[in-house]
Amino acid sequence: MAHVVSKKLLATDDALEQVLPLCVSKGGFRLARVKLDHDGIVVNFVLPDGVPIKNSSENGRNHSSEKILLKAPEIVGSCVTRSTESISKSVFLKIFAYPIDESKRNPSRRRISITMEFETQPTMEENYHHAMKWANFVHDMLQPDTPIFGSPDVCFLGMSSTDKLLVLVNPNSGPGKAYQIFRKQVAPVLSDSGVAYDVIITQRANHAHDLMKTLDLQKYKAVAVVAGDGLLYEVYNGLGCRSDWMSALGLPVCIIPGGSGNGLAKSLAYWRKDPELKRPRSQCLISALNLVRGTPKPMDLILIHSHSGKRYISFLSFGLGLLTDIDIQSERLRILGEARFTLWGIGKVMVQRRYSVTISFKRASGIKRDELKKSASQSELQSQTCESRRPNLQHSISCHAPHPEDPPSPSTPDEDDVPNEFPGNPEVEDNDDSSSFPLGHSRDEVELGRDALDESLWNKKTSTRKADYSHLLQKGGADAACPFSDPVPEDWETIKGEFLLVYVVYQSHISSSVMMIPEAAPDDGIMWLILMPGSMSRPAIAKVLLQLDNGMYARVPGVRLIPVTGVRIVPHDTQGLLTIDGESIPFEPIHAQVLPGLARVLVR
């Protein structure tokens, strides 16, 4: 007589195990031994007598047809349904996951669903409670700190059926595929997770900005943006206009790339070392999974005041010169997506524009002189001249510190460790006597790109505690003028000259194909000031543009990277292009500082 396998549930506090009918995606039902614990789900298909089916693959990964392993982070949700047949007592539990298929050279995620049939109990109601026991265990596995309410209308991520996400979609972003991305790649993930959401399709410029100014923040757990970086810029600046702007800017956000640039989405994936990073088409799925399985992590924001009194909130970059000109002037080619940057960049190599600018900055502490490496050889430096002098400057508080009780700026390194030399045309102002240095060397070290970065900066943990930034609101309202007539503080440095590029970056990427600062993290409290002097040759400029995809542009002689916590940019030209997060603003002096860890982004 053949042995028949027992279908009795084996349950402990840490695991559930049972043999029951199961189907994968659209396949047929087969008998399987299923074990569910807090690490994930293991499925072994068995014969009717309970003997596991042998298969040629013993690695147990997702591509094996007889054994399936789904890790907990790959699972997004589940649902319990009853049989629609009147004579059936079966209840089904469907579990949705997006595992990585590691059998391919470039790992990729694919959607998989596992449907378990519960039919051993005498009645459908008993089978339903049996299935709910598994469903609640899945809920605990996804959110171990979330209490179980014992109700089928409880969603994951600690969200009840009354909680919602707000999804903003810009159908005109970049090549115009944002709505298609939402419908085909984001909505299915949201449906699988069981999370409720509202969708708003933006109708005009600044639609999201105006919406966020009056949005009831208690209504939504998080905001997702399906567009380029421009729509998220609207979101943050709309939140920044509210009376409760400090708490409002902490609303968790998720960026799903649907535009031309997509710099923040790429930066977050790069920061979290997602294995699918090499597959551009997977970026939307990565971000959608962040939305339903991510946790809020702190991200720095940058507060920027303009000379005319406007206040801006930034999360990516700002500046003027080569990259800004390419970005804005190529807008007419936006239908081409990111290819427009490459095409316009070729033309900018031939036709260069130089900007006369005064740049003042507060250097970030932590990088010592002996840890820096030269960006050019000694002979190259000696062939260039730099006018260094000791000015008689009277300093006062900076524009972002209007009150005497404001906390002091972070300390700078010892003066002997501060390199102030800039190879090329610009002249430098500081409070040190540089007469003892050779011509062209106000210090014996200069900044380089990747190799010059002090690893201690990246190992240093920044505080996730929200600080009080209320003193940053000027008397007279959010748009009160910044006192640009006041000199910068004594511990700031100043550079004057002609530049091809003056750019400040605080993420690793400014688009999905342009890597600016490989070591940057969203919460490191640092801005990176990138300078290209006006004396750079066309071959050097071309080399910079050709190496933007891997961050190696910083090794080109003449390029300078400076870690800062505050910066003031004063252009002397009457006309030009100035951008924040890729959005054009009036061409005028600006002053920026870091708001450490004020924002929250959803990542896994």
Active site residues: 229
CA 48/CA 65 separation, integer angstroms: 17
Tell me the residue type at 173: S
CA nearest to 322, candidates 361, 360, 351 = 351
Contact 320, 354 (CB under 8 A): no
* Element of type H or E holding 230: helix 229-239
Q: How far is CA 17 from CA 37, 288, 596, in A?
A: 9, 31, 46
CA 99/CA 472 separation, integer angstroms: 45
- Within 13 A of 205's CA, how many CA atoms are on the CB side? 2
Q: Which residues contact 4 (CB under 8 A, 6 or more apart)?
A: 48, 49
Q: Which residues contact 33 (CB under 8 A, 6 or more apart)?
A: 17, 18, 19, 43, 44, 45, 46, 50, 52
CA nearest to 418, candidates 307, 515, 493 = 493
CA 267/CA 506 separation, integer angstroms: 10
CA nearest to 589, candidates 570, 563, 567, 568 = 570
Task: Extract the runs of DSSP E, i.e. beta strands, from 275-352.
Answer: 295-306, 311-314, 317-321
CA 559/CA 583 separation, integer angstroms: 24
Strands 527-533 and 560-571: antiparallel
Contact 526, 454 (CB under 8 A): no
DSSP code string of 293-309: H-EEEEEEEEEEEETTS
Sign of the torsion angle spanned by Cα atoms 179, 183, 188, 190: positive
- Within 13 A of 229's CA, how many CA atoms are on the CB side? 28
CA 349/CA 541 separation, integer angstroms: 6
Tokens of 360: 């003042």
Q: Which residues contact 297 (CB under 8 A, 6 or more apart)?
A: 522, 523, 600, 601, 602, 603
